[in-house]
Each structure stands twice: as structure tokens, then as C-alpha cells.
């Protein structure tokens, strides 16, 4: 599944230079896997506050849904 996010042209240009042959998702995932947090990405002005809150809420809802499915399957 993919999602669209809005970023400024300046941030896009910075990400594009940094990503090399990787996708934007791979670049952001790599940052997060290195112990970063979504907040660290927003601190670089990649996500505005509203988008950060929307993404955080969606992640929380998806996590709850996953836990519900796991509980249902193990019963």
C-alpha cells in the first residue's frame, strides 16, 4: 500500500539528492530503522505537523487492527 504526502519543493530536492538509486520509502525507512522516529523525520520538515498527526493516528489504528486480528486468530 502506498500513501501520498505533501512536502515542500526544497525538502523534495534534498531528499532526491540524498536517495541516490533508492526510493523515497527506502530512504525514510532506512532513517527510521537506524533508531530514528517519525518525529525525527518531521523535524527535518519532511512532514508538516498536521501530516505527522494524521500519520501517527493511522499507524496507531493499524497497529490496533493488527493486534485485534492476531487475538482473533489465536482464539
pLDDT in tens, the chain (75 residues): 778 888 888 888 888 888 889 988 888 888 777 776 666 555 566 667 788 788 888 888 877 777 677 677 665
pTM: predicted TM-score of the whole model, two decimal places: 0.41
The rounded Cα 23 to chain-centroid distance in angstroms is: 13
- C-alpha cell of 16? 532526491
Closest residue by Cα to residue 42 from 11, 75, 4, 14: 11
Amino acid at each position: 500500500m502506498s500513501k501520498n504526502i505533501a512536502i515542500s519543493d526544497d525538502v523534495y530536492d534534498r531528499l532526491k539528492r540524498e536517495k541516490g538509486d533508492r526510493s523515497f520509502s527506502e530512504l525514510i525507512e532506512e532513517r527510521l530503522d537506524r533508531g530514528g522516529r517519525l518525529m525525527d523525520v518531521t523535524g527535518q520538515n519532511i512532514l508538516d505537523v498536521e501530516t505527522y498527526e494524521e500519520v501517527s493516528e493511522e499507524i496507531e489504528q493499524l497497529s490496533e487492527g493488527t493486534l485485534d486480528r492476531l487475538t482473533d486468530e489465536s482464539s
